[in-house]
Amino acid sequence: MSQITTRTLAPDAAGLTEAADLLHAGALVAFPTETVYGLGADARQDHAVARIYEAKGRPSFNPLIVHFADLDRLRQVVDWTDAAQKIADAFWPGPLTLVLPVKPDSGISKLVTAGLDTLAVRMPASEVARSLLRRFDGPVAAPSANRSGQISPTRAAHVLSGLDGRIDAVMDGGPCPVGLESTILGLTGVPTLLRPGGITLDQIAKALEAPVAERKGTEAISAPGQIRSHYAPRARVRLNAAEWEPGEATLGFGPMPCDLNLSASEDLTEAAANLFEYLHRLDATGARTIAVSPIPHVGLGIAINDRLSRAAAER
């Protein structure tokens, strides 16, 4: 693709207006959410959505999440259910995405759904994201603002390191507080956890007052973020390291000597917020291997381990 000038916008009135105008014109604008930075395009414009896939180098069979500012607009494009309303009441706006049947007259580009009859939808909690969505006044398709398969961006600098010259603008709203992509819940049949995230399976089951199934890794892709090798640095990632080996960049958890520590106090929320930022930093050292100490596989640790296992997967 041809090189373009990527502008950096402030999250003020002028920056929000410029970002919304760019989106209406079919341009690509990266913006912060509470989870990670998203690469936004008007979800109704085929050409704009195609540019997302081109800029990221993303496989066209991998669907996109569409972001909305308000529930009324969101319910116009998907078949809404009682279960969806319970989840919305409990967690929206927030870091949870729902996969629901898309309406035939939704107006959403077919490229967004990657040929599926469902649509992944979300209402982000980030005030910058919500302000942009309100200013734009329409649905915005926005996967993570990085090259496909690489570490997700939690700062504007991460976006520019991979997409400078490939997108039109990035809105710098500072670091993302959650640091992991949204939980994805399928509601086209039995409620099914399609991707773990900041909202846990137990929290969802409690809100629904019903059990929640989990997607098997062998099933066909039904939502964003299910490709086996994903969120990967250039370096090889070695998981569950009981001890460090010479020459490795080291990522710890709990009290221990290491290059960077996700949380010396073993706080999983802190670890999730630091994960992608610290992978970016360790990868920038040029180390051939990043060794990661074990992370408890409970609560938010399930989502952290999901991202790490994809980062470590064979490419």
Among the three residues 214, 249, 270, which one is the final residue of a domain in this structure?
214
Encode pLDDT of 266-278 as tens digits: 999 899 989 999 9
Whether 185 and 295 share a structural domain = no
- Give me the residue label for tokens 């000038």: 5
Whether 73 and 192 share a structural domain = yes
Whether residue 199 contacts residue 94, with contact meaning beta carbons closer than 8 Å, is answered with: yes
**Is 221 among the domain residues?**
no
The lowest-confidence range among 35-39, 56-60, 69-73, 104-108 is 56-60
**Is 133 among the domain residues?**
yes
C-alpha distance from residue 88 to each of 72, 97, 147, 180, 188 (Å): 12, 10, 30, 19, 16
Whether 146 and 193 share a structural domain = yes
Whether 267 and 194 share a structural domain = no
The predicted pLDDT at position 215 comes to 80
Mean pLDDT for all residues in the chain: 92
User: Residue 314: pLDDT band by 50, 70, 90 thresholds?
Assistant: confident
Among the three residues 214, 244, 275, which one is the final residue of a domain in this structure?
214
Whether 247 and 208 share a structural domain = no
Q: Average pLDDT of 87-106?
A: 96
**Is 226 among the domain residues?**
no
pLDDT at 141 over 70: yes
pLDDT at 153 over 80: yes
User: Residue 114: pLDDT band by 50, 70, 90 thresholds?
Assistant: confident
pTM summary value: 0.86
Query: The domain that contains 164 carries what CATH number?
Result: 3.90.870.10
Domain extent at residue 171: 7-214
Number of domains in the chain: 2
Q: Average pLDDT of 301-308?
A: 90
Residue 209 — left, alpha, or beta (φ > 0 → left; ψ -120 to 50 → alpha)? left
**Is 137 among the domain residues?**
yes
Whether 206 and 279 share a structural domain = no
Whether 248 and 121 share a structural domain = no
Whether 180 and 241 share a structural domain = no
Q: Is 142 exposed, middle or buried (0-12, 13-18, 19+ CB in 10 A)?
A: buried
**Is 1 among the domain residues?**
no
**244/246 Cα distance (integer angstroms):** 7
Q: Which residue would you say has higher pLDDT here, 133 or 307?
A: 133
pLDDT at 226 over 70: no
